[in-house]
Amino acid sequence: MKTVADIIDAFGGSTAFGRICGFTQNQAARGSDMKQRGSIPVRYWPAVVQAAREKGLEGISHETLVAMHAARHDPPPGGCVLPAGSLAAASGAAASSSRLEAAE
């Protein structure tokens, strides 16, 4: 399994997948939304992994889901540059302050 679409298709499509995720209404639409976004919200992962085990579907695990979703959010080559004043910049300032206090 390489994509969310592969997983949804392995379960028999959007309606079946929506049912596995626990939706009682609009199952096809919910499954279809996830397929279109290429993302399964984390709160549904336990049900997806359990259903895959029960159906004997290989290649669907928490590790697979993490890798699949992480690949969608990998930073561009050269890393991620955060603007000044961002959380990273504030964290760096706090770390510098802590080092100064420890040196005193």
Looking at the domain assignment, is residue 28 inside a domain?
A: yes
> The pTM is what?
0.68
Write down the pLDDT at residue 32.
93
With 80 as the cut, is the pLDDT of residue 6 above it? yes
Looking at the domain assignment, is residue 17 inside a domain?
A: yes
Write down the pLDDT at residue 16.
95
Looking at the domain assignment, is residue 98 inside a domain?
A: no
Spell out the residues 6+ positions from residue 1 whose beta carbon is closer than 8 angstroms to its own: 7, 10, 59, 60, 64, 68
Write down the pLDDT at residue 44.
96
Greatest pairwise CA separation for the chain in angstroms: 64
Mean pLDDT, residues 4-25 taken together: 95
Looking at the domain assignment, is residue 66 inside a domain?
A: yes
More reliable by pLDDT, 30 or 90: 30
Looking at the domain assignment, is residue 43 inside a domain?
A: yes
Alpha helices for the chain (secondary structure H)? 4-10, 14-20, 27-37, 45-55, 62-72, 87-103
